[in-house]
Structure 1
Amino acid sequence: MQRFRRMRSLQKFASVHSSVYNHFNQERSLACRDTFKLTRTAALAEWRELGAA
């Protein structure tokens, strides 16, 4: 975390990173390939929809 010069920048990055990471973390090792691809596609579609707004 030495890259961040200000604590506010670190906090802003951490809050955005955690929400994005939680959205896309699908626990690949716990799901079969077809299920993983379906959930990943749904997450990407939702992310694109949010980004278009």
Structure 2
Amino acid sequence: MQRFRRMRSLQKFVAVYSSVFNHFNQDRSLSKRDHFKQNRTAALAEWRGLCAA
């Protein structure tokens, strides 16, 4: 956390990072491979759609 000089910039980073991490973080051990890959592909497609807009 030494990279952040201001607490506000750290808070902004954590807010964005946590939403992105939660969007892509899916526990691999809790699902079958096919289902995991489908969810991962859907999340990536949604993310690309959001970034393109």
Tell me, yes or no, whether TM beats 0.5. yes
Aligned equivalents of 1:19, 1:28: Cα separation in 2: 19
Aligned equivalents of 2:22, 2:30: Cα separation in 1: 16
Q: List runs of 5+ in structure 2 lacking aligned partners.
A: none
Aligned residue in 2 for 1:5: 5
Could you list the per-position Cα deviations for residues 16-39 of structure 1 after superposition, in whole angstroms to 9, with x for gaps in the alignment? 001000100111110111110000
Aligned residue in 2 for 1:23: 23
Q: List runs of 5+ in structure 1 lacking aligned partners.
A: none
- TM-score, normalised to structure 2, is 0.93
DSSP-derived class of the 2:2 partner: coil
Percentage identity across aligned positions?
77
Aligned-residue RMSD, C-alpha? 0.7
Aligned equivalents of 2:51, 2:43: Cα separation in 1: 12
Aligned equivalents of 1:29, 1:2: Cα separation in 2: 33
Aligned equivalents of 1:29, 1:13: Cα separation in 2: 28
